[in-house]
Amino acid sequence: MSFVYWLPAIAGALHVTEEFYWPGGFSEWFREYRVNGVMLLAGVALGWMGPDWSRALSLWLILVAILGANAFLHLIGSWRTRCYVPGLVTGMLVNLPLCLWGYAHFIGNREASLSMAATSLALGASYDIWSNLSHRARSAWMGGHANGNDR
């Protein structure tokens, strides 16, 4: 069962590989490299600690919710731009199915309560929203400071 706790890190690594290395091109499409690095570190930490850590299941559910929601962002981005967005394939074929399977598995086996699952889903699925808002606020603030408007 502890292998399951490595799955978010594996899925995240495959996803980042598609985005940046093969076929790559994601950094030109959208700049969020640090977010992917944090996601991978959290996934590796989760895999390392495994199910013995008291918060492992909550983190697992949050991480796969981030991955699943991110799959939809790649799909929406591809639809809006009418072109392939790096990360779309692993998002739809690895991350989204892992998210769906994980929630069904842990809720179905009563390892996760509905309350835990709903909270984790809300936190994970909303991550891209508040991350984007934070990025925009930081960019606006930095833009003002770069122009000498910091008074």
Tens digits of residue pLDDT in 130-145: 777 877 777 777 775 5
Question: What's the pLDDT score for residue 92?
Answer: 93
Question: What's the pLDDT score for residue 1?
Answer: 56
Question: What's the pLDDT score for residue 33?
Answer: 41
Query: Does a structural domain hold residue 41?
Result: yes
If one counts the domains in the chain, the total is: 1
Query: Does a structural domain hold residue 138?
Result: no
Question: What's the pLDDT score for residue 60?
Answer: 95
Query: Does a structural domain hold residue 65?
Result: yes
User: What is the percent of the chain with per-residue pLDDT over 70, rounded to a whole number?
Assistant: 83
Query: Does a structural domain hold residue 139?
Result: no
Find, among 2, 26, 38, the residue nearest to 74 by Cα: 26
Question: What's the pLDDT score for residue 145?
Answer: 57
Query: Does a structural domain hold residue 24?
Result: yes
Q: Which stretches in the chain have pLDDT values below 70?
A: 1, 23-37, 144-151
Question: What's the pLDDT score for residue 32?
Answer: 46
Question: What's the pLDDT score for residue 15?
Answer: 80
Question: What's the pLDDT score for residue 66?
Answer: 93
Query: Does a structural domain hold residue 55?
Result: yes
Whether this prediction's pTM lies above 0.75 is answered by: no
Question: What's the pLDDT score for residue 84?
Answer: 83
Query: Does a structural domain hold residue 151?
Result: no
Q: Which domain holds residue 41?
A: 2-126
Query: Does a structural domain hold residue 146?
Result: no
